[in-house]
């Protein structure tokens, strides 16, 4: 579906289990591939991004068997069991695939080339290339080692002590993975706390990894020790759940239950912001699933959401929720200001620019800043033709805005939702009255 048409919704009712977590699906395939022995990944996300990761490891000789019910059996070949890929590895639209794999490939003694789609080829790669080079990796990339395609000649790495200049789970994870192949202990200091799925999973596999707030220490296990295989069940993705949380809050007379959602605190900054905005959201049935906290989320229409100001350390924990937070802000009383969000300029699209220009088209008053946006609520929105910028989260956020706008909204290039949530429009329709 290249174009989606949505009209104003009466209410949202019912229950939904969002698709499996994208970040955890990527990591499960990567870590199982470099573990020694057979791993089981249950509830793997069958969407384009994690498929890019799966295809990459298949091209390096890893056997991955697909079973019913989104289960994967992965025959890991150990830290040094990957084969040189015959072809260029195409990471598609996936920043997580390319940035995390570059850490693994840097420690493997063969040649590989990584590339991606037009969006990924414009996203910054120096943030992983520079520290990997410091560790001794042989890497060259386009335009002065800044952009894909990137060529890697892996070798034995040395541990470094690295203070990250950007808050990024992808960079952190890349260096943790490279650290597994280094002589000595690699120390990484985060700028702000970002998602910690890599650390949790590696710990469960027996890796020598220590976390002390912003400092992560990982001991190289090359030649000494292998990672144990895993049996993980992936929870639903909080970032996919966020669209439904927002819809239930801003569409009158709504009440929905969102099942089996990962609520890792490094991912749920949106819930803290929503609390401040006055939303009453219940988190029920909290449990542990494969080392990650999981719960059901119950939410209903919030009559009078209040505007908020956010910036600083909370940003990484809601980084992917910026577009949907912009939509929520349109329906909150007052001016919401989001600052310190410059990373949003280098996501799958420039998400600040994308949300600013498309929300303006449907009647929202706002101001764009280099590092964020301010949005005036409550806006009375009117449907129009809007662009997804081929960015899954922009398309889904605009779809929720469309449910609150008068008339019909057409979203161009809407099939990009396949990156993380292929059934998004069908699921939304099921809940909409």
Toward ligand S3P, which CB reaches closer, 173 or 233?
173
Euclidean distance between CA atoms 136 and 130, whole angstroms = 10
Cα dihedral across residues 190, 191, 193, 198: positive or negative: negative
Q: Does 254 bind ligand S3P (CB under 6 A)?
A: no
At closest approach, how far in Å is the CB of 195 from ligand S3P? 6
By CB neighbour count within 10 A (0-12 exposed, 13-18 middle, 19+ buried), where does 237 fall? buried
With contact defined as beta carbons under 8 Å apart, do 246 and 220 qualify? no
Cα dist. 375→135, 327, 406 in Å? Answer: 43, 9, 19
**Contact pattern for ligand S3P over residues 127 through 166, marking x by CB under 6 A:** ----------------------------------------
By CB neighbour count within 10 A (0-12 exposed, 13-18 middle, 19+ buried), where does 349 fall? buried
At closest approach, how far in Å is the CB of 234 from ligand S3P? 13
Q: Is the peptide bond before 188 cis (omega within 30 degrees of 0)?
A: no
Q: Does 168 bind ligand S3P (CB under 6 A)?
A: yes
Under rule CB under 6 A, which residues in 5-24 are in contact with ligand S3P?
Answer: 23
* Residue 288 bears catalytic tag: no
Closest residue to ligand S3P, judged by C-beta, is 23
The packing angle between helices 95-106 and 169-180, to 10°, is 20
Binding-site size, ligand S3P (CB under 6 A): 11
Under rule CB under 6 A, which residues in 96-125 are in contact with ligand S3P?
Answer: 96
Output the DSSP codes for 194-230. ---HHHHHHHHTT--EEEETTEEEEE--TTT--BPP-
Q: Does 170 bind ligand S3P (CB under 6 A)?
A: yes
At closest approach, how far in Å is the CB of 156 from ligand S3P? 26
Stretch binding ligand S3P (CB under 6 A), from 61-69, 114-122, 169-177, 334-342: 169-177
Question: Which ranges of 135-277 does DSSP label H, i.e. alpha helix?
Answer: 142-145, 169-180, 197-204, 238-250, 269-277
Q: Which of 176, 180, 186 is nearest to 35 (CA)?
A: 180
Q: Which of 49, 196, 296, 320 is catalytic?
A: 320
Toward ligand S3P, which CB reaches closer, 136 or 323?
323
Q: Give the residue, chosen from 56, 209, 319, 394, that forms a contact with ligand S3P under the rule CB under 6 A.
A: 319
Toward ligand S3P, which CB reaches closer, 302 or 319?
319
Toward ligand S3P, which CB reaches closer, 237 or 296?
237
Toward ligand S3P, which CB reaches closer, 141 or 319?
319
* Tokens matching residue 300: 């209903």
Toward ligand S3P, which CB reaches closer, 174 or 379?
174
Q: Give the residue, chosen from 48, 320, 321, 387, that forms a contact with ligand S3P under the rule CB under 6 A.
A: 320
Taking every pair of Cα atoms in the chain, the longest distance, rounded to a whole number of angstroms, is: 64
Q: List residues near ligand S3P by CB under 6 A.
A: 23, 96, 168-170, 173, 194-195, 319-320, 343
Active-site residue list? 320
């Amino acid at each position: 579906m290249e174009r989606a048409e949505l009209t104003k919704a009466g209410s949202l009712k019912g229950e939904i289990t969002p698709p499996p977590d994208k970040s955890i699906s990527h990591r499960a395939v990567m870590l199982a591939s470099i573990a020694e022995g057979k791993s089981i990944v249950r509830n793997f996300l069958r969407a384009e991004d994690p498929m890019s990761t799966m295809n990459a490891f298949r091209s390096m000789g890893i056997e991955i068997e697909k079973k019913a019910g989104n289960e994967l059996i992965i025959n890991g070949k150990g830290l040094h069991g990957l084969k040189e890929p015959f072809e260029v590895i195409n990471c598609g639209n996936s920043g997580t695939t390319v940035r995390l794999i570059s850490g693994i490939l840097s420690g493997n003694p063969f040649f590989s080339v990584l590339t991606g789609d037009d969006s990924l080829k414009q996203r910054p790669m120096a943030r992983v290339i520079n520290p990997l080079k410091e560790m001794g990796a042989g890497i060259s990339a386009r335009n002065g080692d800044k952009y894909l395609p990137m060529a890697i000649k892996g070798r034995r790495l040395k541990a470094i002590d690295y203070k990250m200049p950007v808050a990024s789970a992808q960079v952190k994870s890349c260096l943790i993975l490279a650290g597994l192949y280094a002589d000595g202990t690699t120390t990484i200091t985060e700028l702000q706390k970002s998602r910690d799925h890599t650390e949790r999973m590696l710990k469960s596999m027996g890796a020598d990894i220590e976390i002390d707030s912003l400092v992560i220490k990982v001991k190289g296990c090359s030649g000494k020790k292998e990672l144990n295989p895993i049996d993980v069940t992936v929870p639903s993705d909080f970032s996919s759940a966020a669209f439904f949380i927002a819809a239930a809050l801003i569409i009158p007379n709504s009440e929905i239950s969102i099942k089996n959602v990962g609520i890792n605190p490094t991912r749920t900054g949106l819930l803290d912001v929503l609390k401040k905005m006055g939303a009453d959201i219940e988190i029920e049935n909290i449990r542990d699933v494969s080392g990650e906290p999981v719960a059901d989320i119950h939410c209903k229409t919030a009559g009078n959401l209040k505007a908020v100001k956010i910036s600083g350390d909370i940003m990484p924990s809601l980084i992917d929720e910026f577009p949907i937070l912009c939509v929520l802000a349109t329906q909150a009383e007052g001016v919401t200001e989001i600052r310190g969000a410059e990373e949003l300029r280098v996501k799958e699209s420039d998400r600040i620019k994308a949300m600013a220009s498309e929300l303006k088209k449907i009647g929202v008053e706002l101001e764009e800043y280099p590092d964020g946006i301010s949005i005036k609520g409550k806006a009375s929105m009117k449907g129009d033709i809007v662009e997804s910028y081929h960015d899954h989260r922009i398309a889904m956020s605009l779809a929720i805005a469309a449910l609150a706008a008068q008339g019909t909204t057409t979203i161009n290039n809407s099939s990009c939702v396949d990156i993380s949530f292929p059934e998004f429009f069908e699921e939304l329709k099921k809940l909409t009255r």
